[in-house]
Amino acid sequence: MLERELTTVLSKEAAKPFIEHLGMQTIGDLLWHLPRRHYRRGDLTDFADIEVGEFVTLAARITNVASHTSYPRGKALQRTIVTISDGRRSLDLVFFNLKRFQLAKLVKGESGMFSGTVNRFNSKLQLQHPEWELFDDLDDSQQNAWVSGLVPVYPATKKVSSLSIRKAVRTVLERVDLAEVTDAVPQHVRESHGLMRFGEALGAYHVAESDERLEEAKRALKWHEALQLQASLVVMREFTRRLASTARPAGALLAEFDSRLPFDLTPDQHRIGDQIAADLDRQHPMHRLVQGEVGSGKTMVALRAMLQVAETGGQSVMLAPTEVLASQHFRSIVDSLGPELAAKLNPVLITGQQPAAERKRSALAAASGQSLIAVGTHALISKKTTFADVGLVVIDEQHRFGVGQREALRSKGVEPHTLLLTATPIPRTVAMTVFGDLDVSELRTMPAGRTPIGTHVVSERQSPGLMARAWQRVGEEIADGRQAFVVCPAIEPGEAERGADLLSADPAGAELPGAGAQPTMADVATTLERLRHVDALRGVRMAALTGAMSADEKDAVMRAYAAGDIDLLVATTVIEVGVNVPNATVMVVLDADRFGLSQLHQLRGRVGRGEHPGLCLLVTSAPPTSTAGERVAALAATTDGFAIAEFDLAQRHEGDVLGRRQSGVVSSLKVLRVGEDADIIREARIAAGELIEDDPLLERTPTLRQAVAALSAEARVALQSA
């Protein structure tokens, strides 16, 4: 039914704009183009109560109609002014290029109802392109329905209006029987949860007689999406459990490493380490996500897993999203292992921008099995890079990689164990919705010695003079022998850092040192030059670091900064993850409102990693009451990354959050909201588990099976397995 071509129910002429401008081909494409909201035209408004900006519905008589045609830029533009009156007051309705049959109906003396938003033009109130119906065309019940009915508002374009979509949907609903639409939610599940059939719910969401009916339809559609998604995740999870993998029990290498640690592991590191150790000792592949606060010790957890795998001669491959992070991980692993263990495991670094000879040596060591740990960037995925026996794949900052890239790395071994790491805390409902096929562990306790980071908003809008104090504060830290970061969203004027999680901000940009309000984003090149002339920073050794620099240049700058040869680093988000300089204590983020909350939290985690407390100054010109201002204030109010993630989910559309999975699974969500629908997601998870336990390949529910297979390639493969 829903797969039928749109032209089977709409004329080719009527369907043309939907096909050309909205990419719709089928009935399903149109009906799944759901209203973004509904409104009620409302009770009739008294002319005396009309106010600018309000949506009103007026019952009135047409007292005058005047049309005038002009030719701006050579094109005819007909402007029609229809004056309506309640007998005491009048109001103008303004239309542009009315169709002839519409103009023929709007004649003096006719009465009807007119709905729209009031605006003012030349000191006179008016409605532009209002909706209207004449009383002669409606009986009493239709008049009542016109006033009280819920009106859907659709996502529209300049070429296809919400009104035209509404009319097309009504035409389709009149010509097709949605009772014939097959339902992915089995009957017994619908009945046990009191759900409408899918077809009925789809129709009711477009044309609802009441708020209660609309909510009932919305709940059914949410269940429809939740069950498909959860069934997909359960199918993939069960499929993984049936695969055969090499067990990697812990042994002397891990015991030797633990005995030499100069510090105690945190309770969470112990707990998650035990979970991973048990996973690795099983004969099916581990699929675990470890999420933890910035600086909570995820790399240590991963390294201990690598040592367990190395005990049986297996290799561990660690994938990082940037050269800077890969190099940082490599140095950290070598230092943590110490000379003796490093000699046994022979860690190597493999990146795309290494000198050819160095990369060749590392690749040969990995291919021959001489190296049991390989750390690198996308170069690890290259067909030219091979391994002897990959037992563990570790993917850091997993949201930076697509499913295809992750699977390409896993294919280097025979069903290797997989450990995903993220320092971007994921709200529980998101984890349940997107990572339901994984075991999820949370690292919340921080290693001993880490001090809380003080975070403050520097509002240029409220106190322009605060910037001078901010640079003075940076100068004081440097004078005390510490180091600082200044972060900008752009590399050069008008050029944002690639990969930055930038948001559209308020029109006013941040003020850079010594300048007035800038309409563009703060950039590294300009900021570095201006900071050289700030009195409080005279004599400070400064350098720039951006993603546009070569690997050698970035590595040289980071080595110099880590060695204390650079006092202040002006950088883009290239320092967001993996940069560990314990002597860095202060960070200034310019145009902080341009960044996403999770990215700001990551950036903030670059300071205060040593014995001295950290300070983060978030510079913004966004009004405190604006969405951007509230986002920055929320970050300053807490250092709890999980609380920040929940706030981020509540404020931003979950598409922005879920999109980081890059699997395509969540892109089809239309009405399910993971921030609001935890109960539905949880119930659907239970129902999906019961269905698949009873029928692993969903053979008795073909519609659900087809829907699950369409969600992702992984689920399709799982369902096709024996």
Using DSSP's 3-state secondary structure scheme, residue 392 falls into strand
Other C-beta atoms closer than 10 Å to the C-beta of 535 total: 9
Mean pLDDT of the chain: 83
DSSP state of 674: T
Question: What was the pLDDT predicted at 647?
Answer: 80
- CA-CA-CA-CA torsion for 392, 394, 400, 406, nearest 10 degrees? 0
Closest CA to 270 of 451, 447, 398, 397: 447
Asked if pLDDT for residue 498 goes beyond 60, the answer is no
Helix (H) or strand (E) holding 598: helix 597-604
Beta-bridged to residue 70, according to DSSP, are 77
DSSP state of 337: H
Interatomic CA distance for residues 505 and 227, integer angstroms: 36
Helix (H) or strand (E) holding 646: helix 641-651
Question: What was the pLDDT predicted at 407?
Answer: 67
Helix axes 641-651, 597-604, angle to 10 degrees: 160
The one-letter amino acid code at 30 reads L
Interatomic CA distance for residues 295 and 605, integer angstroms: 7
Question: What was the pLDDT predicted at 376?
Answer: 92
Interatomic CA distance for residues 379 and 219, integer angstroms: 46
Interatomic CA distance for residues 702 and 707, integer angstroms: 9
Interatomic CA distance for residues 32 and 648, integer angstroms: 27
Query: Environment class of residue 639 by beta-carbon count within 10 Å: exposed (0-12), middle (13-18) or buried (19+)?
Result: buried
Mean pLDDT within 518-541: 88
Question: What was the pLDDT predicted at 31?
Answer: 92
Cβ–Cβ under 8 Å, residues 523 and 495 = yes
- With vertex at residue 386, the alpha carbon angle to CA 384 and CA 389, rounded to the nearest 5 degrees, is 175
Mean pLDDT within 652-666: 45
Interatomic CA distance for residues 234 and 162, integer angstroms: 38
Mean pLDDT within 623-638: 86
Question: What was the pLDDT predicted at 510?
Answer: 33
Query: Environment class of residue 580 by beta-carbon count within 10 Å: exposed (0-12), middle (13-18) or buried (19+)?
Result: middle
Question: What was the pLDDT predicted at 227?
Answer: 93
Interatomic CA distance for residues 201 and 220, integer angstroms: 6
Closest CA to 196 of 721, 573, 671: 671
Asked if pLDDT for residue 462 goes beyond 80, the answer is no
Beta-bridged to residue 587, according to DSSP, are 485, 616
Return all residues near 584 (Cβ < 8 A) that are at least 6 apart.
482, 483, 484, 485, 561, 606, 607, 609, 610, 614
Cβ–Cβ under 8 Å, residues 526 and 493 = yes
- CA-CA-CA-CA torsion for 137, 142, 147, 150, nearest 10 degrees? -120
Question: What was the pLDDT predicted at 139?
Answer: 64
Length of the chain: 722
Asked if pLDDT for residue 512 goes beyond 60, the answer is no
Tell me the per-residue pLDDT of 299-351, one tens digit each, with 9 for 90 and over.
Answer: 899 999 999 999 999 999 999 888 878 888 899 899 999 999 999 999 999 99
Which of 98-102, 145-149, 344-348, 442-446: highest mean pLDDT?
A: 344-348
Mean pLDDT within 132-141: 70
Asked if pLDDT for residue 428 goes beyond 80, the answer is no
**Distance set, CA 206 to CA 122, 165, 166, 214, 449 (Å):** 38, 11, 8, 8, 58
Question: What was the pLDDT predicted at 167?
Answer: 85
Work out the widest C-alpha separation in the chain, in whole angstroms: 98
Tell me the per-residue pLDDT of 251-293, one tens digit each, with 9 for 90 and over.
Answer: 999 999 999 998 889 999 999 999 999 999 999 899 898 988 7
